[in-house]
Amino acid sequence: MNPDTTTIIKTLEDFAYQAIDKHFKKTVKWEKSVKKDEDPEALHQMRVGMRRLRTAVSRFGLSLNLPKSVSDKNIGKIARILGKLRDLDVLKEILENDYKPHLLHKEQESLKIAFSTLDKQREIEVSHVHKIFKDELYKDFKKDLQDWLEKPSYQPLASLPIQQVLPDLLLPEVSEFFLHPGWLIGTEIVDSKIVVQTNWTPEQLEQHLKTEGETLHSLRKQAKRIRYQMELFTELYGESFTANISDVKHIQESLGMLQDSVVLNEWLADIFKSELNSQLRGLTTLLAANRYQLWQQWQPLQEQYLKAETSHKFHLTILQPM
């Protein structure tokens, strides 16, 4: 290979450009398919692309001169509109594949009301997606970022070696992750030590999910943020860094499945109101059993990540890029 054509990535600038270019291209390539609304996977990929792009813009923002339209806030707004449609697709998928086959015929008939409501809600969200694509906010974001990629502009900080700044880029988010109040749900502090309670009944779990479900969901979002950030830099670290990413992904997925079950339950309650238990008792029983099982699977992870030694090792790994 001609050495002149080989790009050696060394500075913050190189990494920032590479990440923004990659995720922007990955995002916009799905736009046509999402407009046609033919394939749920296209919507999923575009939403993930937007989220990863948002991570790159927010993490590297302090070293770049980006146009105003390419802001964390604007990308977040576009991602949320895509997200609302994607969330409905996920609900439908879970209902259709994970629960419907296990229900009695009578309950499967009742579910038709839910699917019909879902289709109507979906039509509304599809129109919102079409609207955002026509909106100046999206058009400006897309055009301005394309222009920036053709002629990028940086702050002086961008010239620093990536190894020098990398720990400082990642550690603030790592600290937020470990200090998140979601870790303490289902624990007691005894003599300054955190003790995970493993004796909750299904009823106790449901009660806590009602009052603290939002905090758990917030921990899941923080796990996703830190995972996306770490994945920008895998080539600069060794095996323990990759293992940490794998752990964070496991945390995110574990809490995600729990959240999906809670959201599905709330969505069904919104449709069926007081009739929910009489019309879909089998389904609500299955959902509650599923949440209890997911909670028991979550607790060993929670216990591991509440240990001082886990956070210490995690921080040490971040401090030692190759």
Q: What is the pLDDT along the chain (322 residues), one digit of tens a residue?
A: 344 445 565 899 999 999 999 999 999 999 999 999 988 999 999 999 999 999 999 999 999 999 999 999 999 999 999 999 999 999 999 999 999 999 999 999 999 999 999 999 999 999 999 999 999 999 999 999 999 999 999 999 999 999 899 999 999 999 999 999 999 999 999 988 999 999 999 999 999 999 999 999 999 999 999 999 999 999 999 999 999 999 999 999 999 999 999 999 999 999 998 888 889 999 999 999 999 999 999 999 999 999 999 999 999 999 998 8
Which H or E run includes 189?
Answer: strand 187-190
Could you count the other beta carbons within 10 Å of the beta carbon of residue 235? 10
Beta-ladder partners of 195: 188
* Per-residue pLDDT, 2: 40
Distances (CA, A) of 112 to 76, 175, 200, 275, 283: 33, 46, 35, 15, 13
| Count of C-beta atoms within a 10 Å radius of residue 151 | 6
Neighbours of 138 (CB within 10 A): 18
pLDDT (0 to 100) of residue 8? 62
- The pTM for the full model equals 0.90
